[in-house]
Amino acid sequence: MQTEEEILKIKKVKNTAVRTVVLRHLLSQEKAQSLKDIENALAYTDRSSIFRTLKTFEENKVIHSIEDGSGMTKYAVCAKGCNCDPKDLHYHFYCTNCDKTFCLFDVPIPKIQLPENFKQQQANMVVKGLCDNCNK
């Protein structure tokens, strides 16, 4: 596992206190985190600073954002080597019971045959249902 410092260096993002703690938090969670999740976890860091940190991370492909339909954008650290290209995409699973969002790295997304002259740049693929913990 890479340290926060290593990741930021590789992605050419200057290291700061806020960036380190935000990235550390994201790395420590197995589920994608919302701005509010992070804010709650980091009690003494300002929301707008976290917000701007997330934007910076996203621009530099440290993290990717997920719109899971919960009303809050969630963020997860990109897998090693990820470039956020269509080929790096993966499904997300949103649990409608516990409101958690999982990255399904192991399930490949098939190539989608678009209509004539449409061009894919990105995708947001969210499967909704019950996670293993809630499906009892």
Partner DNA sequence: GATTTACTGCAACTCGATTGCAAAGATTAC
Partner DNA sequence: GTAATCTTTGCAATCGAGTTGCAGTAAATC
Q: Are 121 and 87 in contact (CB under 8 A)?
A: no
48 part of the interface to DNA, by CB under 7 A: yes
Q: Which is nearer to its own copies, 10 or 107 (CB)?
A: 107
33 part of the interface to DNA, by CB under 7 A: no
Residues numbered 51 to 110 that lie near its own copies (CB under 8 A) are 67-69, 91, 93, 96, 104, 106-107, 110
Distance CA 78, CA 10 (A): 13
Helix, strand, or coil here: 83? coil
Q: Which is nearer to DNA, 5 or 46 (CB)?
A: 46
E strand or H helix at 5? helix 4-10
Backbone angles phi, psi at 80, to 5 degrees: -60, 130
Backbone angles phi, psi at 28, to 5 degrees: -80, -10
- 78 annotated among ligand-binding-site residues: no
Distance CA 41, CA 37 (A): 6
Question: Shortest gap between Cβ of 120 and its own copies (angstroms)?
Answer: 4
Contacts of 67 (CB under 8 A, 6+ apart): 73, 74, 124, 126
35 part of the interface to DNA, by CB under 7 A: yes
114 contact choice in its own copies, DNA, none (CB below 5 to 8 Å, kind-dependent): its own copies
Q: Which is nearer to DNA, 41 or 72 (CB)?
A: 72
14 part of the interface to DNA, by CB under 7 A: yes
Contacting positions for its own copies (CB under 8 A): 67-69, 91, 93, 96, 104, 106-107, 110, 112-132, 135
